[in-house]
Amino acid sequence: MRIACLVAMIASLAASSAIAAPANDPSPSEIDSIIKRFAEKESEFSRARSLYTYRQNVRVIDLGVQGREVGRWEMLSDIVFDPDGKRTERVLRAPVPTLKSFSLSPEDEQDLRSVQPFVLTSKDIDKYHVRYLGRETLDEIGCLVFSVKPKRMEQGQRYFSGMIWVDDKDLQIVKSYGRATGVLKKNNDQQFPKFETYREQIDGKYWFPTYTTANDLLYFPGGPPVGIRMTVKYEEYKQFKSDVNIKFGDVVDPPPPTPAPAKPKP
């Protein structure tokens, strides 16, 4: 009886140790396969998200040089489909901007749409250097962490540079942290904040972006750093159901124009 209990105890401890033991890092060939597979999964997710409507709530706060709010830019909009099945943005609320230390540029608006809710599809994977960094647990989710940066940049295109956390089971991005980047025209002194984007599982299958946050300093040439705080909420995801055929590849209609490219003000 005592021997049996001891054997059972040893077996239980061994099982506990096996559960607690960290998973091994994948081999180089396995990493290449994982990158290919999560890019395929991201392609599936991108197509799925294009069939959803959702609400987007953006708030940019100008913290000035003292770290206190001196202005803000806000926009509440619904990403929907018109009667012809074309994807469009319906602005619900857009108060007059009161930013003083900087203004939003077309590049900032492009980042809001395509870089901050970062998706790394099979079509785009060859544009980036993707390097495996290790394993990490994020909110009890086992993740593979990768460094991502563009191989080269073309005029007019915006890119992501930073880190991504990929669910080691679903092989989808659950978090991204980094900065938007791209080629700017000469004498363009724009600065872009670092941001974090979190995803949540929607309808039990795909991980959709639900929250982006940034709290950073913008270092404009010839002046003190300017504080910026930004939040973007993606809410009320609903699958679009209609007899109308969806027109894939349509660009979301832009919101009303904002001030000229971001430059520090005297």
> Is the whole-model pTM more than 0.85?
no
C-alpha dihedral sign at 66, 68, 74, 79: positive
Distances (CA, A) of 54 to 25, 58, 59, 119, 156: 37, 13, 17, 17, 27
pLDDT tens-digit series, residues 101-120:
999 999 999 999 999 999 99
What is the CB neighbour count within 10 angstroms for residue 123? 12
Span 8-20, average pLDDT: 43
pLDDT digit string (tens) for 48-100? 999 999 999 999 999 999 999 999 999 999 999 988 888 899 999 999 999 99
